[in-house]
């Protein structure tokens, strides 16, 4: 029997950092029961890339699709969680050594999740990250990936201006999840549920990402 759902999303909290130099999120009360209001009503102000989120093509392409136009089905279904060892990159060679050729076109190849040795905790923004090399992005597309998810704030180097991995995935109509929190989950087959909030015209949107082991 499949196991229980496991939350793999980072929280949005005052200490959260979407990107170095950006202000953190604020949650303020518009009305409070303790002040005599009938209900509590809050307002959240934050960068759309705070915490676990889905990037849309509009994030890197001037005329790219916005997040409300993404296929929600890409974010729900069989997924494969991988663990890589390289500290500075997600490379094609290491992915191939994991035996991924054998799953080409199979359901679990549609959603590839990559756990790196130095996951982003959502608060202490890194200076360098293990980024997805363009050849590795092309390889995942060849496998049939409709979605790629990582535990980093980007799949490209933090100082990248050309964003090659983003553009390769979006050019193949694949979707992207960033800032996932895999904790101590073992690599293997899972069921993913991680559709982004439908924010019209947005370049990204928060996600409550869940995994469930497949039997």
Query: pLDDT grade, residue 1 (50/70/90)?
Result: very low
Query: pLDDT grade, residue 215 (50/70/90)?
Result: confident
Among 53, 59, 131, 166, the one annotated catalytic: 59
Q: Of all residues in the chain, what percent carry a pLDDT higher than 90?
A: 98
Q: Is-catalytic flag, 166?
A: no
| Structural tokens at position 2 | 């499949």
Place of tokens 């090659």: 164
Compute the distance between CA of residue 129 and CA of residue 116 in angstroms, rounded to an integer. 9
For 107-161, how does the pLDDT look when each residue is reduced to its tens digit (9 = 90+)?
999 999 999 999 999 999 999 999 999 999 999 999 999 999 999 999 999 999 9
CATH 3.50.30.50 fits 47-213, yes or no: yes
Compute the distance between CA of residue 92 and CA of residue 186 in angstroms, rounded to an integer. 21
Q: How far is CA 90 from the centre of its chain?
A: 15
Mean pLDDT computed over every residue of the chain: 97
Among 130, 120, 124, which Cα is nearest to 151's? Answer: 120
Dihedral-angle region of residue 21 (phi above 0 means left; psi in -120 to 50 means alpha; beta otherwise): left
For 33-51, how does the pLDDT look when each residue is reduced to its tens digit (9 = 90+)?
999 999 999 999 999 999 9
CB 159 within 8 A of CB 19: no
Q: Is the pTM of this model over 0.85?
A: yes
């Amino acid at each position: 029997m499949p196991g229980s759902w496991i939350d793999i999303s980072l929280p949005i909290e005052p200490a959260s950092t979407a990107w170095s130099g950006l202000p953190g999120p604020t949650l303020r009360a518009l009305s409070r029961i303790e002040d005599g209001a009938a209900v509590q009503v809050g307002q959240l102000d934050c960068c759309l890339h705070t915490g676990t989120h889905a990037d849309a093509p509009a994030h890197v392409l001037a005329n790219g699709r916005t997040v409300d136009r993404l296929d929600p089905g890409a974010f729900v279904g069989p997924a494969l969680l991988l663990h890589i060892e390289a500290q500075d990159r997600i490379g094609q060679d290491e992915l191939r050594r994991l035996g991924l050729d054998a799953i080409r076109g199979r359901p679990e190849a549609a959603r590839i999740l990559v756990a790196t040795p130095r996951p982003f905790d959502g608060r202490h923004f890194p200076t360098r990250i293990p980024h997805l090399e363009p050849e590795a992005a092309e390889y995942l597309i060849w496998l049939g990936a409709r979605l790629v998810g990582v535990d980093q704030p980007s799949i490209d180097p933090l100082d990248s201006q050309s964003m090659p991995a983003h553009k390769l995935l979006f050019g193949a109509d694949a979707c992207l999840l960033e800032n996932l929190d895999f904790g101590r989950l073992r690599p293997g087959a899972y069921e993913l549920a991680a559709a982004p909030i439908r924010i019209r015209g947005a370049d990204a949107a928060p996600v409550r990402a869940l995994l469930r082991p497949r039997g």
